[in-house]
Chain A
């Protein structure tokens, strides 16, 4: 390759921009608008999914009637189903899907590894332990959520402390990931311990069911409580998109470029942990979303986190909403969401790996 001045047109000449729409600047806004449209369609259709039939138009009218005065052409049952049951669940799916996907995208950049998921530092295992403990103690719904949230944070804090203590020398990022795996395994063992101690007739099934992940029992107050940390965390990670790009080049290079990487890493981890812990607290453990969606997003819009994080937000919300629609409509009995995401996500992910190397190599 000619490394010096080039006179002949090169294979990567600027003209390639016009033909290469995948990352071309003009194509990106269009892609984002199309994604938002797709999300809107999934959103409206989701109101029609379920055993109680509701026409999408009726659902939209009921939603609109909350803002503008409309003469009801629907009965009270329909309104209850739309506003009381399906709306919170749909919003929860959007919120949780967006949260897990953004945390996954941020961690994949931070740890420079496309195989990393939001639970890498132990937040899911910690939250699972907190929830299991709360169920064992007979706490109510709010208690379970709070315990899950707090123990999720505690697990990541433990990982951080271990990482910081060991990483005097060597790669701080690698040490952090390894510490996360150890802490995750430890908390998984604690969960087993709680299960072992639980009453096999009622407490044990409740714990097991919680760990499978579900959006079935979420109401508006739960949603409002979880929305605050999730929205704040996602907003902060969006603002740090460019910094995440720089971090992809490794700790030393990022420092030489002028980043205080220790502080930046802590900030990213705090944001991603708040977001994931809040999501897991209301939904239980839902795997693969945080791994698959960032890949999908990267294949669609490239690796620039300024674009990747917003696109992951939209795609994550849409993906989990669609999967949740399947979870509650596929069979007569609702299947826990965590199981469906894994069953849908795994072959989907393998398909992506097989058919597209774009986005990472």
Chain B
């Protein structure tokens, strides 16, 4: 569905990432891992067309998106930014319905059909009860879920999420990730998200793209690319990655910091 070939990105003449390539199919959850400032957000903005690419190809269904009009791109790729506060206290239901603007256009407002889709998106994330709350007054975790609901209301095929778990407490991190994985499967979405936790990638991702300090990248099964040596070389910390068996019998990998 999404193919990226030899993508070079950066700001103006400054190159940030070079020669990135991967493909993504529906139902997949790709985790992007890398240190601060390595260019994860730059890559996202380039894929979303928010900053011009410096080279390479971004194909959706085999077609380069370079000259796609905004509404068409928005019907394919939904963006979940890091939760922040807008200057005015909109209702949660309205914030989610804003995801429909690519479908109804500039001089219209959401119709009954758009409202139904927005409500269904709230439902899908289990936050229907928040509908009439003020977006500025709910918690950070709820706000993140609202932004995911807005992106779902956009009815895209690809979801790009910028650190959806940053600023969330432990419980909300796990809940958001579980929701994301579930909607990826149920809505047949391809999801790319960034995280700072190797465990998130190991537990929830179908594949991982890891960037090291020198901006080299590797892509593959999470447990294949998130290795003890990658974590040591990139973050300068000693860790052990253990294969564990959960109580339900499923196998999984976990990252354990070395003590001392």
List residues of A whose CB falls within 8 A of some B CB: 1, 3-6, 9-14, 16-17, 20, 23, 109, 112-114, 168-169, 239-243, 245-246, 248-250, 252-253, 255-260, 264, 298, 302-304, 306, 358-361
> Cα distance A106–B133 when bound, in Å?
24
Task: With a 10 A CB-CB cut-off, give which of B90, B98, B127, B131 has the most chain A CB atoms.
Answer: B98
* Chain B residue nearest to A15 in the complex (CB): B132
* Chain A residue nearest to B45 in the complex (CB): A252
B71 within 8 A of A: yes
Instruction: Select one of B79, B106, B130, B134 contacting A253, CB under 8 A.
Output: B79
Cβ-defined contact, B126 with A6, below 8 A: yes
Cβ-defined contact, A256 with B86, below 8 A: no
Cβ-defined contact, B132 with A169, below 8 A: no
Q: For residue B18, which residues in chain A have a CB less than 8 angstroms away from its CB? A: none
A3-B142, A258-B154 as given contacts; A252 in contact with B87, CB under 8 Å = no
Q: For residue A240, which residues in chain B have a CB less than 8 angstroms away from its CB? A: 106-107
> Cα distance A17–B69 when bound, in Å?
38
| Shortest Cβ-Cβ A-B pairs, 5 listed | A258-B102, A258-B74, A12-B133, A1-B139, A3-B141
Q: For residue B48, which residues in chain A have a CB less than 8 angstroms away from its CB? A: 255-256
B50 within 8 A of A: yes
B145 within 8 A of A: yes
Q: For residue B94, which residues in chain A have a CB less than 8 angstroms away from its CB? A: 245, 304
> Cα distance A4–B45 when bound, in Å?
28
* Chain A residue nearest to B145 in the complex (CB): A3
Could you mark each residue 166-185 of chain B with 1 if its beta carbon is under 8 Å from any beta carbon of chain A, else 0? 00100110011011000000
Chain B facing A: main interface SS: mixed
Q: How many residues of B contact A (CB 8 A)?
A: 61
Q: For residue A249, which residues in chain B have a CB less than 8 angstroms away from its CB? A: 86, 98
* Additional 7 contacts, C-beta under 8 A, given A13-B129, A109-B88, A248-B86: A10-B130, A12-B92, A20-B132, A256-B48, A264-B106, A306-B109, A360-B89
Cβ-defined contact, A245 with B131, below 8 A: no
Closest-CB distance, A258 to chain B (whole angstroms): 3
Cβ-defined contact, B87 with A112, below 8 A: yes
* Chain B residue nearest to A109 in the complex (CB): B88
B194 within 8 A of A: no
> Cα distance A246–B99 when bound, in Å?
9
Cβ-defined contact, B101 with A12, below 8 A: no
Instruction: Select one of A12, A17, A258, A304 contacting B90, CB under 8 A.
Output: A304
Cβ-defined contact, B129 with A4, below 8 A: no
Q: For residue A114, which residues in chain B have a CB less than 8 angstroms away from its CB? A: 87-88
> Cα distance A209–B133 when bound, in Å?
49
CB neighbors of A among B85-113 (8 A): 85-92, 94, 98-99, 101-103, 106-110
> Cα distance A260–B217 when bound, in Å?
33
Cβ-defined contact, B141 with A1, below 8 A: yes
> Cα distance A136–B137 when bound, in Å?
54
Task: With a 10 A CB-CB cut-off, give which of B12, B87, B88 has the most chain A CB atoms.
Answer: B88
Q: For residue A4, which residues in chain B have a CB less than 8 angstroms away from its CB? A: 126, 171-172, 175, 178-179
> Cα distance A239–B50 when bound, in Å?
26
Between A and B, 19 residue pairs with Cβ closer than 8 Å are A3-B139, A3-B145, A4-B175, A6-B129, A12-B138, A169-B11, A242-B108, A246-B98, A249-B86, A255-B48, A255-B70, A256-B50, A257-B99, A258-B73, A258-B154, A302-B91, A304-B91, A306-B109, A360-B88
Task: With a 10 A CB-CB cut-off, give which of B86, B87, B108, B154 has the most chain A CB atoms.
Answer: B87
> Cα distance A304–B110 when bound, in Å?
13
Q: For residue A109, which residues in chain B have a CB less than 8 angstroms away from its CB? A: 88
Could you mark each residue 130-156 of chain B with 1 if its beta carbon is under 8 Å from any beta carbon of chain A, else 0? 111110111111101100001000100
Closest-CB distance, A232 to chain B (whole angstroms): 14
Cβ-defined contact, A302 with B50, below 8 A: no
Closest-CB distance, A262 to chain B (whole angstroms): 10
Could you mark each residue 56-88 of chain B with 1 if its beta carbon is under 8 Å from any beta carbon of chain A, else 0? 000000000000011101110111010001111
Q: For residue B109, which residues in chain A have a CB less than 8 angstroms away from its CB? A: 241-242, 306
Cβ-defined contact, B50 with A255, below 8 A: yes
* Chain B residue nearest to A252 in the complex (CB): B50
Cβ-defined contact, A113 with B139, below 8 A: no
> Cα distance A239–B131 when bound, in Å?
25
> Cα distance A250–B133 when bound, in Å?
21
Q: For residue A360, which residues in chain B have a CB less than 8 angstroms away from its CB? A: 87-89
* Chain B residue nearest to A13 in the complex (CB): B129
Cβ-defined contact, A1 with B74, below 8 A: no
A12-B129, A240-B106 as given contacts; A257 in contact with B101, CB under 8 Å = yes
Cβ-defined contact, B126 with A303, below 8 A: no
A4-B126, A4-B175, A240-B107 as given contacts; A112 in contact with B50, CB under 8 Å = no
> Cα distance A302–B103 when bound, in Å?
25
Cβ-defined contact, B12 with A246, below 8 A: no
Q: For residue B139, which residues in chain A have a CB less than 8 angstroms away from its CB? A: 1, 3
> Cα distance A358–B175 when bound, in Å?
31
Q: For residue B131, which residues in chain A have a CB less than 8 angstroms away from its CB? A: 14
* Chain B residue nearest to A170 in the complex (CB): B11
Task: With a 10 A CB-CB cut-off, give which of B110, B134, B168 has the most chain A CB atoms.
Answer: B134
Q: For residue B130, which residues in chain A have a CB less than 8 angstroms away from its CB? A: 10, 12
Instruction: Select one of B90, B102, B126, B138 contacting A1, CB under 8 A.
Output: B138
